[in-house]
Amino acid sequence: MESWQAILLGVIEGLTEFLPVSSTAHVLLAGHFLGVRSPGRAFEVLIQLGAVLAILAVYFGKLWKTATDLPFDPKARRFALSVLIAFLPAAVAGAALHGFIKGVLFETPALICVMLILGGFVLLAADRFAIEPRYTDAMAFPPAMSFKIGLFQTLAMMPGVSRSGATIIGGLLLGADKRAAAEFSFFLAIPTMAGAFVFDLYKNWQTMDLSNATPILIGFVTAFVSALVVVRTLLEFVSRHGYAPFGWWRIVIGAAGLAALSAGY
């Protein structure tokens, strides 16, 4: 992999990770059309940690306060429990289906494009017919609601569905407002993506060497920088414009991808 390709894919990862457009789909499709494929798809998964660090950088103060308040603040404990409960379904499903996801689903560009299009229509519908919000604080979701959002997150095992898209739609359908749904998706990304990073690093350790560690490092840094921009601006954007623009984006990219694949690219 050339350095410019690692930079481009890192930027794509960072810009799309927290948008409901499926970063995995964008990175896999970009890699397909660039002719880039990392051993065991390690690059595509490991650079996601750069995006996770962007959340930690933006929310460090709030997360640090929550961590230090855990021993004596029931609200802090409930928030930590809610994130853990929401994380568990994807952790179990991801570990059980890892081989199928990486060996089959990641290698089917046409399926990824179809899921982008279908997810786009789902986003348009969810944005238009969202339930009247009952929850406006992402740190105060009930544990039962968080678990249901976690079940929605398992849908993102399918490339093209979008982890953030699934959790945001789950939050909206369960009564969260647009801003709170997106913010909880940010928080849930921390254990989910960190867990995926550790698990994939373990699975692909034998294939790692200096030649593919360098592009991973480049992609990691560019993913962090570009994700930082998104995390700082997304909440304000969705509060004003909702999620319809991302639905249309998914449909356009999915349709363009199918057209390119049909043309033999």
Residues 192, 17 contacting (CB under 8 angstroms)? no
Judge whether 120 and 248 are in contact, CB under 8 Å: yes
Does residue 210 carry a pLDDT above 80?
A: no
Confidence of residue 116 (pLDDT cuts 50, 70, 90): very high
Paired with 135 in beta bridges are 176
pLDDT tens-place string over residues 232-261: 888 788 878 888 899 999 999 999 999 999
Q: By percentage, how much of the chain surpasses pLDDT 70?
A: 92
Compute the mean pLDDT over every residue in the chain, rounded to the nearest whole number.
85
Q: What pLDDT is stored for residue 103 in this prediction?
A: 64
Domain count, the chain: 1
pLDDT for 259 equals 93
**Gap between the Cα atoms of 152 and 160, Å rounded:** 14
pLDDT at 211 over 70: no
pLDDT given at position 257:
92
- The domain of 34 spans 3-262
Query: pLDDT tens-digit profile of 45-102?
Result: 778 888 888 888 888 888 899 899 998 899 999 999 999 999 999 989 887 776 677 6
Q: Residue 193 CB: number of other CB atoms within 10 A?
A: 21
- What HEC string does 72-106 produce? CCHHHHHHHHHHHHHHHHHHHHHHHHHHHHHHCHH
Mean pLDDT of 164-188: 90
Sign of CA dihedral 166, 172, 178, 179: negative
Torsion over CA of 87, 89, 93 and 95, rounded to 10 degrees? 40
